[in-house]
Amino acid sequence: MILKIVQTGDVVLRQFARPLSRDEILSEPVQELIVAMRDTMRDAPGVGLAAPQVGMPFQLAVIEDAQDYIDKLPPGQAAERRRVAVPFQALINPTLTVEVADEMHFFEGCLSVAGFTAIVPRALAVRVECLNERAEPVTIRAEGWYARILQHEIDHLHGQLYLDRMESRSFTTLENFNRYWKDKSVADFWRAARHK
């Protein structure tokens, strides 16, 4: 089932999502929600989706960065972004710890801020402790784009959007991003914007 993705301005996106108990995680409704979120993320298409984005205030997110998406990037971007394929994962009640605070600045979008993108600084490497869809404890160590996805989705669970972290001068429509910046580096953008 494909779920409706709520857009910025919906109060659920600004609330702190509640944790799920082990019994809730293993329940049929939450198991069905995980499958529906996976299908919705893939249909969008996106690399992550948090439960608040489909109107459910739960500490639950799904992520997946398929090799197909990476193969469509302009030459050199996958390496620059340290982007590698990430298999489907459900993250429940996650806690995030920054392991390497050095920041990477790249354009980032969001399914709940449809039609726009901006440069967002994110920590280079993180550790996430969470439960998976079987309510088993999992520790994830990630860097580069994988770390960015985790930070973005866990922000959603805390009522934050990339808009709260973005370099506001870089905020643009996806149409203009594709027209002017898709094949350029962030440094090219800042040179053109005569900023930084």
Active site residues per annotation? 153
CA 40 to chain centre: 14
Q: Could you tell me which of 96, 104, 142 has the C-alpha nearest to residue 122?
A: 104
Quick check: helix, strand or coil at residue 48?
A: strand
Placement of tokens 């998976």 in the chain: 132
Q: Is the peptide bond before 45 cis (omega within 30 degrees of 0)?
A: yes
Provide the 8-state DSSP code for 27.
S
Provide the 8-state DSSP code for 58.
B
Close Cβ partners of 87 (under 8 Å, ≥ 6 residues apart)? 64
Please, are residues 126 and 118 in contact by the beta-carbon 8 Å criterion? no
Backbone angles phi, psi at 3, to 5 degrees: -95, 155
Residue 165 structure tokens: 């972290």
